[in-house]
Chain A
Amino acid sequence: MEKKEYDAVILGGGLAGLMAANIVASAGFSVAVVSKVFPTRSHSAAAEGGIAAYIKGNSDPNDDPDFMSYDEVKGGDYLVDQDAAELLSAKSGEIVHILDAWGAPFNRQPDGRIALRYFGGQTYPRTRFVADKTGMALLHTLFEHATGFKNIDFYNEYYVLDIVKEGKDVNGLVAMEMKTMDPIYLKSRALLIAAGGLGMLYKHTTNSYINTGDGYGIALRSGVALKDPEFVQFHPTGLYPSDILISEAARAEGAILKNNKGERFMARYAPHKFDLAPRDIVSRSMTIEIREGRGFEGGYLGLDLTHLGKEYIMERLSLAYDAAKTFSGVDATEEMIPVRPAQHYFMGGIDVDITGSNHDLNGIFAAGEAACVSVHGANRLGSNSLLETLVYGRETGDSMVNFLKSHKNVESNSNVDGIINTAYSYIKRESGEHFGTLLNELRDIMWENVGIFRDEKKLEEAVRKISDLRKRSVNMYVTDKSSNYNTEVFNAFETRNMLDVAFAISSAALNRKETRGAHYRDDYPKRDDDNWMKHTLAYLGDSEIKMSYKPVNFTRWKPEPRVY
């Protein structure tokens, strides 16, 4: 088997991974970026609306970083680590400056400064954007910048199987080249998991097909905790019926949600912020409207842009216009866009501190949606995911550099063969469970039982069923025995990861007996700060999820009722 050695291996070629790669490579260390897709195919490209940033001298005169941190803390229903939120706000301006210096073509004001607009949950407007393809523009900027480094090697279309470790020390990972199915051992002292989210766990999601929770799965199997996995975000405006994202930018620019009576129903649920209340609130309100018979036939609501005018829509919201036109046959300048909530983001993730370091293993880091730094708490605000990938991609890159300076090589690869043998067992087996069956069952269970509204009965059933699916998955097999782009095998690997993280999500959701942010329990409809103002830590045991807790870091904001 081929073996290559690097100072740092980065799993994931999206914004967080590439930002860290740029930082670690700038410090002179060798870096391998491993991804199951070519980097520009990463889900970061799908981010639309923008990146929140307070830029001194180019923000609302009344705004300051404290307002921004406060918005994050309140938006996250006080499960936010406030030191992490403050760091996110404090470095937001710098990050936009760096991206601008690397060539990001942000929309501009007439005087040439970077433009800004409102987004959900913001006290003052601070979202910077590149039309409504901000993620794509930033991803290309970072990727192209990274290709300028001689000490970054890209392993594109390599699927990562598992982490190599010796005791508590991380020693790289084993991946498989998708084109040839050849395994490769990428050895490194530092390992960053920046493999993105897990939308494919849910039947309805705005996420890419590739978002299969791979980073969480391999972390759990290596004894690394997921923090707050019960918090899953559902975006209010998934296009009906394809679940393609219609950006929050649409509402930020003035679009209005309407029910089948033509009412602006958000006035009843969020009398101050209306359609721009945080996403968990809007998604729940929409679900209630649909449930109570005020939706349109098929189960959707209307997003009305028509009053904005054709020219404005075309310039600011061209992607939303194109998506509605292409995928639902609706001309948004004349009709309402049909929308319904769909899974969108995972607030939980690999447990890391404010430096991006995990402490279950030595040398393991996580950033972006794969990580849980706790800047989003129980609900993420729009424009903050791009910001987090970059600010914490950079912070984590710096931590990796410090780690590499002080840690020597560990020589060992005791579990490499085991990883490869397990992987090959799916191909060798001639019969058993097919991943497609398991996957379709899983996506239904997660949507029905671990979705927008939850209760004990639904969650108990989910945990039981997922536990059963995991048992069945031990005998997964694939029909395709060929050795070029055998995508069936990779789907089976993905299914294994999805089952592991689904087990953690449903177990933690059953465990948390309160309502907070995106975690809404019909049987416990109130926030319970006395018992639940704490982070969940979920470890994968032999046949159960082991739960422990961690305090929330407070700096200055005391919990208050969350009204919008």
Chain B
Amino acid sequence: MEEKEITVNVKKYNEKDGVFWKSYRVKADRYTQMTEVLRRIKTEQDPALSYRASCHMAVCGSCSMKINGIPSLACKTMAFKVMDEKGEINLESMDYYTEVRDLIPDVDTFYDRMYKVMPRLYADEEVIEDKEEQRMLPEEQKEVWKFQGCIYCGLCVSACPSVKEDEKFLGPAAHAKGYRYIADDRDTKREERIDMLMDSAWRCTSCYMCYEVCPQDVQPVIAIKKTRSHLDDYRGPETDVITMARKHDNAILELINDTGKIKESSLYLKTFGFGEAIKDSINMLKSGKIKYAFTKDSDVKNIDEVKKIMGDKK
């Protein structure tokens, strides 16, 4: 098999020396995973290089890091696919988490987010006492499994802009986990879960970074949207975010009913109010994006049919 020598630049860190970059030349072929590249560096060149790795098949979530700036699992990344034309690859510790050593960040904050959402099934007493067998339809299993696929790798949280800005936002992975139990009919705490997750769910900006970086295609942002759809069942405190959410929901309903469309500028006004809209208009003016606020939408033709459907919904 054809081998090539590649250059791996690693952003290293330790308490004594602080941050510094170190380069290694390693032989690889088209089947060489980045975890194997790291293993070769460690056993043959620099035994002091520190990183996490376990299963090397993308199910354990250990080897999360930035590869050429992109949050990735090292095991799922093939060296030849990511090297540039000079054969170079850059490795760094994940964003957001505190650096501890080389490619090993402190991810305890990630685990704490997961623990907050009661990540376990609370089955019916009859089932626990073995008096009754649980049934679960295949479609429901598919939905649960989709969001249970999270491997705790922490990449989505490291890539999420909202967790950095908003400490009340639980983050993408915790929402996927939380929704996984809402979707599970075997669980007895759905109301409690909806109350616990709803405020946070509306703090997501729907930027889809989590969707992009998730190595398991869990799609946390979709879990967040699905959680939001339970807004009418929410019984918790009326926080500012919840108030905004209700306005947003109502505005969408009204807009579709009246115009057959989600008119973005009207939706914005109805959700956030005039004051907030003025502030953001100034920001849009500054960034040259104000023209989008005045984009003219065409009208929907058969609006009566839309109203009929909406009437049925109500």
Contacts and interface: CB of A to CB of B under 8 A. Distances in A.
Given A327-B33, A482-B14, A484-B101, A439 B53 contact: no
Interface stretch (A98-106, A183-191, A278-286): A98-106
Contacts of B285: none
Interface in A86-137: 94, 97, 100-103, 105-113, 130-131, 133, 135-137
A169 B148 CA distance: 42
Interface stretch (B134-142, B158-166, B274-282, B306-314): B134-142
A38 B14 contact: no
B235 interface: no
A133 B141 contact: no
Contacts of A478: 47
Given A45-B59, A145-B120, A329-B30, A137 B152 contact: no
Contacts of A94: 130
Interface stretch (A219-227, A255-263, A369-377, A485-493): A485-493
B186 to A, nearest CB: 7
Interface residues of B, number: 64
Given A147-B120, A179-B100, A328 B55 contact: no
A436 B47 CA distance: 8
A553 interface: no
A103 B122 CA distance: 8
A38 to B, nearest CB: 7
A447 to B, nearest CB: 16
Contacts of B137: 108, 110, 112
Nearest to B47: A488
Contact of A110 (B49, B55, B138): B138
A108 B43 contact: no
A390 to B, nearest CB: 16
A439 B42 CA distance: 12
B120 A108 contact: no
Interface stretch (A237-245, A269-277, A415-423, A534-542): A237-245
Contacts of A244: 56-57
A292 B121 CA distance: 53
Contacts of B104: 485
Max chain B C-beta neighbours (<10 A), residue from A37, A43, A103, A148: A103
Contacts of B58: 322, 326
Max chain A C-beta neighbours (<10 A), residue from B14, B111, B141: B141
Interface string A142-158: 00110110000000000
B39 A482 contact: no
A242 B31 contact: yes
A108 B142 CA distance: 9
A306 interface: no
Given A101-B134, A108-B136, A298 B1 contact: yes
Contacts of B135: 108, 111-113
B134 A107 contact: no
Given A103-B186, A147-B115, A109 B30 contact: no
Given A209-B54, A209-B55, A479-B48, 12 more contacts: A37-B54, A101-B134, A135-B59, A144-B120, A145-B121, A209-B35, A242-B56, A327-B33, A482-B15, A485-B102, A487-B51, A488-B47
20 contacts: A41-B62, A45-B59, A45-B60, A97-B130, A101-B123, A101-B127, A103-B120, A108-B140, A141-B120, A147-B120, A208-B55, A241-B31, A322-B58, A327-B78, A328-B31, A434-B47, A440-B43, A482-B15, A484-B15, A487-B49
